[in-house]
């Protein structure tokens, strides 16, 4: 006996009971949906996103530390916390993580300094950020929105996509000259 009949409801072809509400499958949604990728492909994509999220925080800190060192000559945990909008203990914990990753050194009462590895990462992150911002601006996104959106996109974009972004900007620049 079908579920509908067990509950005193007549079975209807093409419809499904959802709790107390009869739902018709959405054909529009089914038509617009892409087929699911293979399990391995989907797992790889989700794994890449998880990895990007875990490194995004480190990249943001390293980029900010580089900016602070370049503009004010020092990067104090208090300034880092304020500029990233996190608590002082959170900044201290993340700076400890950066030390373990050999991205920064920190001396008591002296602030935080980038290692060579940290400086290399900061340059890479800054370059990626500028490229994403430039593409968004070329697409007509306002400056403030482009800067804010780039903060999220820059951590998730692949090298292949960055290369395509650079090519897009070159082609766009060439079209404007012609």
Rounded to whole angstroms, how far apart are CA atoms 21 and 174? 58
- Can you tell me the distance from the alpha carbon of 112 to that of 43, in angstroms, rounded to the nearest whole number? 37
Spatial distance between the Cα atoms of 44 and 52, rounded to a whole number of angstroms: 12
- pLDDT per position as a tens digit, 22-38: 565 566 666 677 888 78
For 25-73, how does the pLDDT look when each residue is reduced to its tens digit (9 = 90+)? 566 666 677 888 788 877 777 776 666 677 889 999 999 999 999 999 9
pLDDT digits (tens, 9 = 90+) for 101-152: 999 998 777 899 999 999 999 999 999 999 999 999 999 999 999 999 998 8
Compute the distance between CA of residue 57 and CA of residue 146 in angstroms, rounded to an integer: 19
pTM above 0.75, yes or no: no
Which run of H or E residues covers position 113? strand 111-114
């Amino acid at each position: 006996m079908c579920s509908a009949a067990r509950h005193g409801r007549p079975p209807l072809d093409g419809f499904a009971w959802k709790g107390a509400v009869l739902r018709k499958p959405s054909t529009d949604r089914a038509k617009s949906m892409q087929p699911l990728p293979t399990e391995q492909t989907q797992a790889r994509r989700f794994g890449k996103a998880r990895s990007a999220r875990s490194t995004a925080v480190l990249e943001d800190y390293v980029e900010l530390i580089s900016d602070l060192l370049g503009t004010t000559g020092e990067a104090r945990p208090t300034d880092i916390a304020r500029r990233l909008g996190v608590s002082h203990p959170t900044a201290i914990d993340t700076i400890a993580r950066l030390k373990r990753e050999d991205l920064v050194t920190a001396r008591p009462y002296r602030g935080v300094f980038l290692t060579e590895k940290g400086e290399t990462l900061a340059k890479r992150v800054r370059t990626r950020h500028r490229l994403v911002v430039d593409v968004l601006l070329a697409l007509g996104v306002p400056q403030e929105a482009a800067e804010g959106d780039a903060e999220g996109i820059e951590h998730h974009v692949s090298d292949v996509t960055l290369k395509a972004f650079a090519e897009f900007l070159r082609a766009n620049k060439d079209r404007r000259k012609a």
